[in-house]
Amino acid sequence: MPDRDVRDFGDWVAAAEPRLRGAFAGVRGPDDARDALAEALAYAWEHWERVAAMDNAVGYVFRVGQSRTRPRKHPNLPEADVVGPPDLDPGLVPALKNLPEQQRTAVWLVHACDWSQAEVAEAMGISPSTVSTHVTRALAALRHRLEVSADA
Amino acid sequence: MPDLNDQLHGYHDALAATVEPVTAAEAMTTGAPPSPEARDRRARWQWRIAAAAAAVLVIMVGSVAVIGESGPMRWFTGDEADSLRGRTFQAVSLTESGGAPEPAMGSLTFSDDRISLNGGCTGVNAPFALERGRLTVGSGTRRGQSCDIDVEGPERWSQVLASANLTLDGERLTLSDDTITVEFVDQSYPRPPGTSKDDTSTTTVASVARPPTLADLEGRSFRSTSVREDGFEKVLVPSIDEPDVGSPSNLWFRMYDGVLSASGGCNGLSYTPTITDGHLNLTRGTQSLRSCGQALEAQDTWFFAFLESSPEIAIAGSTLKLLGGTTEVVLTEQAPTTRPTTSTPMVTPPTTIETATTDWVNPPDDPVPSPLVGTTWELVRIDRDPTAPGWLDPTIVLPIDVAQTGQASPTLLFVTEATVEMAGIIGGFNGCYRLTGGYSRTGTTLRPSTVSLPLDSCAPAAKAIALALGAALEDQQPPYTFTIDASGLRLESEAWTLQFRSA
């Protein structure tokens, strides 16, 4: 492998790894996130020439990480008081767990990870309009459960 | 209290910080090592297996002391156990410490005095005792020391039930100890006369039934009811089309017009069969190319390899047995279902299906239209009723006449038939990315499902068409009615109208 590829891959990982780590942490839970992350990055390296040319490589390899590892039925998300900042609503984690998987993934990637809807569409293998629908419904459900203001 | 967005960000940052980063160097060494959590999990299960083995040993020693004068080692098998003998139970659900029930994997088979317990990667074949509802498992052969993550969770009951309370209510069996309650359902299969009940792995097929001729198999469809390897019931990965966890009915084969089609739960493969000296010999034909995940694809590979190993074949009534090495597959004939209307098996990919006489809506006096399945359909026009309920990305301007956009037409391909047994597969190419998914069909009503149409690297004009097609094929759409005539394929729903022509 040319040194240039190694350098490019290293630069890409430096930027993409934190984004993917945060994404998998919420979607798979911290216990399983690292395995999915490792699978995703290993795939990126194995197919670096193709991945490097992608407009949305992060979304693509996220999907690879998802498909290469087996999800739990419900991700093991730790309660807010275990990991979270002190001002986190204790109802947030149960509310997230209560969401359907697609809605939870979409709202996590868009609002917690700040991914664009196009990136999320690629990551989930669905259209941006469906992402938007999932996010809207997820936010409504979260707000309903948390009774927080609708300015998120 | 911060607003919802801030809370999500806060939780994200805290959660991400708990996950150990993966470096580029780790990724470049063909994947990072398993996480500490995964290692801990594995170690935990290995410890449980060791503990269970030790418990079994203690029980066995104690029991030998009690029944030491009863001659050869034989565990209590009183009347209480009669209702269990010869029956196989598949695990259905697992409830741990008052939690919610989860899917479980594995099986229990009771013979005269032995229990065969298979969790998927671990197994026990040992004497059992049942007294006043308490099941104890003696010393026997064990296999498997560590579990792949795919089966680790669903089979965890198998390591802790060395001694458990058992209740049997008709077809349902429940095992429980202090920590786990596992529900099973009876999946016993009808055994051909003369078959030993307690060790089928040593029974040659030819000794209990006659080898069939190809004519015996013609027009018949069989599904697995039991799969054993080395005497252990093999736990199958649920078929993609039958999501019942632990369902044994994942392997099937059938023969029509001299072509044998088989599936291991995901893809289908067609064969040209011969039967010589009681052995089934297969020449591989064509295979569908569905993506169903590693576990199911591995099961397909395993089943196809087994079929291609020239196994012994025997039939007794509606029960068919295949035996190769120490693997035995028992299949039971299915009630006649809709016979594929194509002369080519359902699994045949489109390149060879073009000559098939698949059903279609055939208007009189028109040139012969193309069949729904196997034809590459090019999108001509897509439109949506603007008054139809539902939300549509406002950037999609409809109707789209593809020819006027100057873009290549996206294609849609019904790769396989949708039958009672299996959902159909659709694929296609939208000019920039491949489309994959499934569909179900009843008569001329058709419903796409789980269609994936990634949009990476599409040019803007092609992306608009792809977006529209993706939106039209999304899940939860009202079903489409399809018609085929000489002008092509037309899909119509409450909202959408899609016109395709044969490529």
Provide the CA B242 distance to its chain's centre, in angstroms. Answer: 6
What pLDDT was estimated at residue A104? 92
Q: Does A44 touch chain B (CB under 8 A)?
A: yes
Average pLDDT over residues B440-450: 79
And the tokens for B194?
Answer: 């003369």
Domain boundary among A76, A94, A118: A76
Residues A1 and A72 in one domain: yes
Domain boundary among A58, A76, A94: A76
Q: Does A19 touch chain B (CB under 8 A)?
A: no
Residue A32 sits in which domain range? 1-76
Residues A71 and A88 in one domain: no
Closest CA to B144 of B244, B230, B251: B230
What pLDDT was estimated at residue B227? 81
And the tokens for B318?
Answer: 């509606």
Domain boundary among A24, A41, A76: A76
- B390: closest CA of chain A, how far (Å): 10
Mutation site, A34, A51, A98, A113, interface B, largest B CB count within 10 A: A34
CB A22 within 8 A of CB A70: no
Mutation site, A9, A21, A27, A127, interface B, largest B CB count within 10 A: A127
A35 with B35: Cβ contact below 8 A: yes
Q: Does A84 touch chain B (CB under 8 A)?
A: yes
Record: fold of B350-502: Lipocalin (2.40.128)
A chain contacts of residue B295, beta-carbon cutoff 8 Å: 70
Averaged pLDDT score across all residues of chain B: 69
- How far is the CA of B299 from the CAs of A36, B275, B296, B440, in angstroms? 22, 24, 5, 24
- Residue located via tokens 């088989």: B262
A88 with B30: Cβ contact below 8 A: no
Torsion-angle region of residue B450: left (phi > 0), alpha (psi -120 to 50) or beta? left
A108 with B392: Cβ contact below 8 A: no
Residues A37 and A92 in one domain: no
Provide the CA B277 distance to its chain's centre, in angstroms. Answer: 32
Residues A144 and A95 in one domain: yes
Residues A8 and A59 in one domain: yes
Closest CA to A105 of A69, A63, A144: A63
Most confident by average pLDDT, B78-87, B203-212, B242-251, B297-306: B297-306
Percentage of chain A with pLDDT > 70? 90
A24 with B32: Cβ contact below 8 A: no
Provide the CA B354 distance to its chain's centre, in angstroms. Answer: 28
Q: What share of chain B is helix, strand, coil (3-state, %, to 5)?
A: 20, 35, 45
Residues A146 and A125 in one domain: yes
pLDDT above 90 for A110: yes
Residues A87 and A39 in one domain: no
Band (A20; pLDDT cuts 50, 70, 90): very high
Band (B475; pLDDT cuts 50, 70, 90): low
CB A117 within 8 A of CB A110: yes
Question: Are domains B36-186 and B207-333 of this chain identical in fold?
Answer: yes
Beta bridge partners of B263: B252, B268
Residues A49 and A59 in one domain: yes
B10 with A143: Cβ contact below 8 A: no
Helix (H) or strand (E) holding B281: strand B279-287
pLDDT above 90 for A23: yes
Q: Is-above-0.90 flag for pTM? A: no
Q: Which amino acid is at A86?
A: P
3-class SS of residue B269:
strand
Q: Does B454 touch chain A (CB under 8 A)?
A: yes
Q: Which amino acid is at B486?
A: A
Q: Residue B399, preceding bond cis, omega within 30 degrees?
A: yes
CB B279 within 8 A of CB B312: yes
Average pLDDT over residues A107-115: 93
- pLDDT top residue among B81 and A138: A138
Q: Is the dihedral of CA A83, A88, A91, A96 positive or negative?
A: negative
Mutation site, A11, A98, A114, A129, interface B, largest B CB count within 10 A: A129
Q: What class is the B36-186 domain?
A: mainly beta
Q: Domain map of chain B by residue range?
A: 36-186, 207-333, 350-502
Q: What share of chain A is helix, strand, coil (3-state, %, to 5)?
A: 70, 0, 30
Residues A83 and A70 in one domain: no
Domain count, chain A: 2
Spatial neighbors of A21 by CB under 8 A, at least 6 apart, are: A33, A37, B16, B19, B21, B22
Band (B444; pLDDT cuts 50, 70, 90): confident
CB B229 within 8 A of CB B205: no
| Separation CA B446–CA A95 (nearest Å) | 36
- B212: closest CA of chain A, how far (Å): 41
- pLDDT top residue among B98 and B166: B166
Q: Which amino acid is at A40?
A: A
Residues A84 and A146 in one domain: yes
Where are the alpha helices (H) located in B77-217, listed in sequence order?
149-152, 157-160, 214-217
A chain contacts of residue B27, beta-carbon cutoff 8 Å: 9, 13, 38, 41-42, 44-45
Residues A58 and A112 in one domain: no
Residues A71 and A96 in one domain: no
B4 with A25: Cβ contact below 8 A: no
Q: What is the 3-state secondary structure (H, E, C) of A38-82?
A: HHHHHHHHHCHHHHHCCCCHHHHHHHHHHHHCCCCCCCCCCCHHH
Phi then psi for residue B221, to 5 deg, are -130, 135
Give me the architecture of the B207-333 domain, per CATH: Beta Barrel (2.40)
What was the ipTM of the complex prediction? 0.90
